[in-house]
Amino acid sequence: MAHHQINAELSTLCYLEKNGQYLMLHRTVKKNDVNHDKWIGVGGHF
């Protein structure tokens, strides 16, 4: 049986909601960002 290693990072994801609206971040500054021009939730790394 072959074993494959998965490289994963621990991170958090939080959805902040108020009155049916969500706080999201629009990633536009870093050109080489894998999330460039995407809307993402608030979070961070451990």
Read off the tokens for 43.
């979070």
Distances (CA, A) of 41 to 3, 17, 24, 38: 33, 11, 5, 10
Q: Structure pTM?
A: 0.55
pLDDT at site 17: 94
Could you report the per-residue pLDDT of 11-39, keeping only the tens digit for each? Answer: 888 889 999 999 999 999 988 998 899 99
